Chains A and B, each alone.
Chain A
Amino acid sequence: MEQASEPERGVSRRGFLATSAAAAALAAGTAGAPSPAAAATAGPARAGASVVRVTLRVNGRERTLSLDPRVTLLDALRERLDLTGTKKGCDRGQCGACTVHVEGRRVLSCLTLAAGLDGKAVTTVEGLARGDELHPVQRAFLECDGLQCGFCTPGQIMSAVALIREGHAGSEEEIREFMSGNICRCGAYPGIVAAVKAAGERG
C-alpha cells in the first residue's frame, strides 16, 4: 500500500476515506463494495482524483479505467467509455432507463458504483446486436413499435432480454409485472408487452 501524499487542496486522506466509505455504503446491496485491491490503489488522497483502477469486460471487451470512486457504472459507461446507449432518466433507481446486465443479471447502473465491479462482465444495449443483425428483442421492439421517443428503450430492452431468459415472459400479465421497473412516459406499454411476448415466443 502506498503512503498517502500531501493533499493538494486541503482535503485530507481522512476525508477521502470517508468519501470512499460512503461510496461503499451506497454500493452495498446493489453490486458490492469496492474490492480491497481497488482501494489499495487509491494512492493520492484527493477527492475527485482518478484513484481507483477498475477493469471491466464491457460487451466482451476489456476496458481498464482509473476512476474517481464516486463514479457510477452509468457515468463510467456514458462519460468515460462513450457508451451512451444507456440512459440517465432519474439517477436514483426509480425509472429503469439505465438498466444494464452485470454478469448476466440486470442492474440499475445509476445505483452501482463502477469501483465495485473490477473483473466483472457488463453488457449494454450496444452489445446485443451481432453486427447488422439485431437481437431478437431489439427486432421485436422495432416491429411491435414498443417505443416512441426511444429514451427509455435501451433500459426496456435490457430488462426484456433478462426476463425472457429468466422465464418471466409466460403471460402478458407476467410481462407487465416484470417490466414495471422501466418507466415509459410516452406510454408505449402495449407495444412493449407485444414485443416481449413476441420475442419470448421466438425463443
Chain B
Amino acid sequence: MTRTSLGAPLDRVDGRAKVTGAARYAADNNPAGLAHGYFVLSTIAKGTIRSIDAARASAAPGVLAVYSHANPLRLLPPRSYIAQFIGEPQRAMQDAVVRHYGQIVAMVVAETFEQARDAAALVTVEYDAQPPAADFLAGVPGARDPQTPFGHPVTILADGVPDIDAALAASEVTHTAVYTQPPEHHNPMEPHSAVAMWDGGKLTIHSGSQGPALHALDLAEGLGVPQEDVHVIGPYVGGGFGGKATSWSPTLLAAAAARALRRPVKVVTTREQLFTVTGHRTASHLTVTLGARRDGTLTAVKNLAVTTFEIENPASPPTAAYKCPNLDLRLKVVDLDIPRRTIMRAPGYAAGTFGLECAMDELAHELGLDPIELRMRNYATASPDKGLPYASKHLDECYRVGAERFGWSRRKAEPRSVTDGQWLVGMGMATCVLPSSQHAGAARVRFRANGTVEVACNTADLGTGAMTVLAMAGADRLGLPVGRIRPALGDSTLPVAAEGDSFMGAVGSAATSTILSAVHDAAGEAITALIAHAVSDARSPFHGMDAQDVRYSSGVLEGGGRRAGFGELLTTTGTPGVEAVTTATLGEDTERYAFITSGAHFCEVRVHRLTGEARLSRVTCVVDAGTIVNGKTARGQIAGGVVMSAGQALLEGAYVEPATGRIANANFADYLVPVNADIPAVDVHFLDHPDTRYNPQGARGLGELTGTGVAAAIANAIYNATGTRVRDLPITPDKLLS
C-alpha cells in the first residue's frame, strides 16, 4: 500500500472484513454453552403488573429460566448523569410498575433461540391498567419548563429592547408558523445485541456501542461490579446514530442473566422490540416567529419549541445560523407515558433547522427575495450567541458553488410553474449548520518489532470510517504507509481520558477531530520513547548517543552516521514494542473564536399531480468542514445524512396511538425508511479551507451535518413545485392532495 496523507480518498481499512462477512458484530459471537434470551413486553402503557404466570413457559422444552420483577435479575440504577438523562434511569424488571407500552416485563432464557422465543409467548401477564398520557400534541399547551441542566432559554436583546415581542412589534414584516414532526427511530440495521459471559467476577461482553468506555461504566454501575471488571468488545457496530450512545436494558439483562445462569447468554432485540426497549428521537412542535425589515434583514427571532426531551431542543439553531440582534429561544417539555427518548443524529438541529429553514423560505417568498439572497443579507460572520468571530466559515462560498453546480438560476420563483407530464417539478434550498465539537481524547501508539504500529483509541466506528481515519492519522503523523498501521478501537480496555466528553466515544460529530489530536500527541510521545530506547538499550546501534542527535523520519531512526528502521531496531534489542499513551492537549482558542461546520443543500423534487407522491430527483450538497481527512468516507457520511433526512422529510414517523401508547408501526414495513429507489444521485462537494485555529490538521466534524437542513430543502422544493406548504413531517401524499 502506498503512502497516504490526510485528504486522500482511501478505501476503508475494515472494508474487506465487511464485504466478506468476516467482520464479527456482537451477535456473531457463539461461545460454547451459549444460551439465548428473549423478552416479553408489556401490552399496556401505564399501570402495574398484577400477576405474571411463568409456569407454562418455565416448563417448556429447553427453558433455563424465566425472569421478571417477581423473579428478578437485580440491576442498580445508573449514577452518571449521561445515563440518567440520555439513557434509562429506570432499569427493566426491577418493579411491578409499567411506564410505557412495550416495556420489558419478563425475559425467557433457553438453550436455543427458538425455544426462548416460543416459550416467551407462553408467559401470561395480568395488569391493573390506567389510561396513559400518550398524545404529544394534546400535551403541548400544558408543557412545562425544563428542570434539568439542559434546555435553558436563550435571550439576546439589542440595547433598549425590553423583550422579544417588542422587537417583533417593531419589525416591518413578521412571519410565524408551527412546524412539527413525529417521533423518529434510529433503526440501525444491527438491532441492540449482546453476548455476555462471566469468568468469576469479571464480565466480557460483545456489544456494539458508540462509546465502549461509557458502556463499560454503565454495565458496571448496573451490575454492581468494579468498572475494571467489565470488558466491552465491539470493533464493529452496525449503525448507531445516537441510539447506541448509552446502554439499554437488553444489554444489561444479557449480562445479568449470564451471571445468574453461569453460562454465556446472547440477546438479540427484535426489530419490533427495538422501538420500545431502546430510545428514540422525540416528537417536536416548533413555533417560529421571524421579524424582518422589508429588505430582508432579520430583526428578531422568537422560537418556542416543545419536545419530550430537554436535550433535544429545536429552538436552538438560531444561535448558530444568522445574524440577528434579538433572539428569544425557549424549550418546553411534555411528559408522556411512552418509551424513552434519547439523542439522535443532530439532536435539536434536525427538527430545528426544518422549522427555521422553512420559515426563511416563506419569508423570502413574502418579500419577493431569492432564498439565497435572503440568507446572504443575514450572513453571520460571528456566532450569534457568543458574539465571537468564526475562525473559518465559508458558507457564502457554499451557496455560490452549490447554486452553480445545481443550476439554481433555472428555478422559477413562482410556485407550480414547472411541469413534466403529470409531474410538478420544484427546486428548494436550505442552509445546514452544526456547531463544531472535539474532545481531548487519549490514544496509544506502539511501535512493534514486526515493523507495524498499533494506533489505538477508545472510540467506535459506527460506519463513519473512524477505523480508517485512525489508521490515516497514525500514518500521516509517523510518515508511514497506512498498511503498516494497525488501528484499534471498539474496546473498553483501550486508553481513555478519565475526564471530559471523550469518554462518550463517537458522539457529537467529534470523533475525527478527537482522534487526530489524540494520535498526533501520542505519536509524538511514542517517537520520543523510541529514541530514548534506541540510545539506552545496550544492543542498539544508537546506544550511548545523546537523544537529541537521533532523528525519526518515516519509520527510520538516523544519527551519528547510523540508520535503522524501528522494526529492525526493536528486533535487534529483543523488544516486542515501545509505546506511549497520552491524552491530547487541545489548542482551539475558544476565548477568541467560534467554530462551525456549515453547508448548502439544493434539492429538486417531483410531485405527481394525481397521486401526491413526492420524489426526490436531484440533490447537491456543498460542505465547508475544514480539512476533509478521507474524501471517500466523508462523502458517505454526507450522502448518508441526506438519505436519513429524506426519510425525515418524506417517510418517517412513529405513530403512537393516543389512547393506548402503542406504537402502531413498529416494523420496517410500516415505519418507512428510504430504500435505494427513493434516493437519486447525490452530488457532494467539499470546500477545502482547513480550520487550523481549530486543530493543526484543520478538520471539523461533519457526521451529523446533513442531519440538518435537508428536510427543509425538500419541503421548500415541494412548495416550489406545488404551491402547497406542508409544515408537518413527513410530507406524505395525503398532505399534498388535500
Chain A residues with CB under 8 Å of chain B are: 8-11, 46-49, 68, 70-71, 75, 78-79, 82-92, 94-95, 97, 124-126, 128-129, 134, 138-139, 141-143, 145, 147-154, 157, 172, 175-177, 179-193
Asked if B1 CB lies within 8 Å of chain A CBs, one says no
Asked if B187 CB lies within 8 Å of chain A CBs, one says yes
Residues of A within 8 A of B190 (CB): 87, 89, 149, 151
Residues of A within 8 A of B669 (CB): 94
Asked if B370 CB lies within 8 Å of chain A CBs, one says no
A188 vs B47: C-alpha distance when bound (angstroms): 43
Across the interface, name the chain A residue whose C-beta is closest to B268: A88
Interchain CB contact under 8 A, B115 and A185: no
Across the interface, name the chain A residue whose C-beta is closest to B270: A91
A-B CB contact pairs (8 Å), 23 listed: A78-B30, A84-B30, A88-B268, A89-B271, A92-B271, A97-B189, A126-B21, A138-B20, A145-B633, A149-B237, A149-B463, A150-B15, A150-B18, A151-B236, A157-B19, A176-B677, A180-B678, A182-B676, A185-B187, A186-B189, A186-B640, A189-B643, A189-B674
Query: Shortest beta-carbon distance, B263 to chain A, in Å?
Result: 15
Which of A79, A82, A83, A179 has most B Cβ within 10 Å?
A: A79
Interchain CB contact under 8 A, A138 and B641: no
The contact of A84 among B11, B24, B238, by CB within 8 Å, is B24
Interchain CB contact under 8 A, B643 and A145: no
Asked if B179 CB lies within 8 Å of chain A CBs, one says no
Interchain CB contact under 8 A, B113 and A47: no
Given contacts A89-B271, A185-B188, A188-B636, contact A150 B238 (CB under 8 A): yes
A34 vs B179: C-alpha distance when bound (angstroms): 54
From 230 to 276 in chain B, residues with beta carbon under 8 angstroms from any chain A beta carbon are 236-239, 241, 268, 270-271
Query: Shortest beta-carbon distance, B363 to chain A, in Å?
Result: 30
Given contacts A92-B271, A138-B20, A148-B463, contact A191 B636 (CB under 8 A): yes
Per DSSP, chain B at the interface is loop
Contact count A vs B, C-beta below 8 Å = 211
Asked if B682 CB lies within 8 Å of chain A CBs, one says yes
Interchain CB contact under 8 A, B681 and A177: no
Residues of B within 8 A of A83 (CB): 21
Asked if B172 CB lies within 8 Å of chain A CBs, one says no
Across the interface, name the chain B residue whose C-beta is closest to A72: B114
Residues of A within 8 A of B271 (CB): 89-92, 94-95
Residues of B within 8 A of A183 (CB): 189, 668, 673, 675
Asked if B60 CB lies within 8 Å of chain A CBs, one says yes
Interchain CB contact under 8 A, B189 and A184: yes
Across the interface, name the chain A residue whose C-beta is closest to B635: A145
Given contacts A75-B114, A150-B463, contact A89 B189 (CB under 8 A): yes
Query: Shortest beta-carbon distance, B647 to chain A, in Å?
Result: 9
Query: Shortest beta-carbon distance, A59 to chain B, in Å?
Result: 11
Residues of B within 8 A of A75 (CB): 113-114
From 439 to 483 in chain B, residues with beta carbon under 8 angstroms from any chain A beta carbon are 462-465
Asked if B25 CB lies within 8 Å of chain A CBs, one says yes
Query: Shortest beta-carbon distance, B56 to chain A, in Å?
Result: 10
Interchain CB contact under 8 A, B20 and A90: no
Residues of B within 8 A of A145 (CB): 11-12, 15, 632-633, 635-636
Given contacts A78-B28, A142-B16, A188-B636, contact A95 B668 (CB under 8 A): yes
Interchain CB contact under 8 A, A148 and B112: no
Interchain CB contact under 8 A, B641 and A187: yes
